[in-house]
Each structure stands twice: as C-alpha cells, then as structure tokens.
Amino acid sequence: QVQLVESGGGVVQPGGSLRLSCAASGFTFSSYGMHWVRQAPGKGLEWVAFIRYDGSNKYYADSVKGRFTISRDNSKNTLYLQMNSLRAEDTAVYYCAKFLGPLGAFDIWGQGTMVTVSS
C-alpha cells in the first residue's frame, strides 16, 4: 500500500529551526520526485519545495527560499525539510507529496504534520 507518513512537527519560537521527515512505503521512492506543500490554518494550499528523484536538483517557493532546504535519503526512503529562521507566517500543516510527473500533479499525499511558530 502506497503511503507517506510525515513527522517532526511541533511548536517552535520565531527564528528557530525544525526538521520534518516523510517516510515513504509501497512504491519505488528513488524513482519519483517529491514535494512539500503547506496549508496555513483555515487557508489554501501553498507549494513549498520540489526535489528530483535523485536529489540532483531542488526548487523552492520564493516565500521559503534561503530559509528551507529539501533533501532526501533514497536508501532510507525518506524525504526531509529543514526549516530555519522560522516566522509566524510559516505556521501550517506541512504535507509531503509524491510527484506524478513530468510537470503535473501530486498523486499521493501524507497525512500532514503541524508546525506552529509562536513565542
């Protein structure tokens, strides 16, 4: 069964850091690009970052560029999001999502992990 399970969310102070993980199972993780998408409370979806299947290229939304880093460990079937210099506006549920490709859709989503940035 294809599954993505996020972890690592929590409460962090402004300016702090957090690392999210996304464990994949049920598909050949190393063959697919992966994304992070977030959703602020009561708001819509926002694309955050994309990493190619082999980790060779990474892309970010302007809102997180220079602060967030997406990475993956294909030997552990795990996707990561390192979040630094966190701001109140980063408060959201963070979802990892499998890329259908080539430039299209996100076909499998995790259940999400909540990140709250607050003093």
- Footprint of another protein (CB under 8 A): 35, 37, 44-47, 50, 57, 59, 61-62, 95, 100, 103-107, 109-112
Q: Cβ closer to another protein: 66 or 104?
A: 104
- In sequence order, the β-bridge partners of residue 106 are 99
Q: Cβ closer to another protein: 49 or 86?
A: 49
Query: Distances from the Cα of 99 to the Cαs of 43, 53, 85, in angstroms?
Result: 23, 9, 27
**Interatomic CA distance for residues 34 and 80, integer angstroms:** 10
Smallest distance from another protein to CB 89, Å: 15
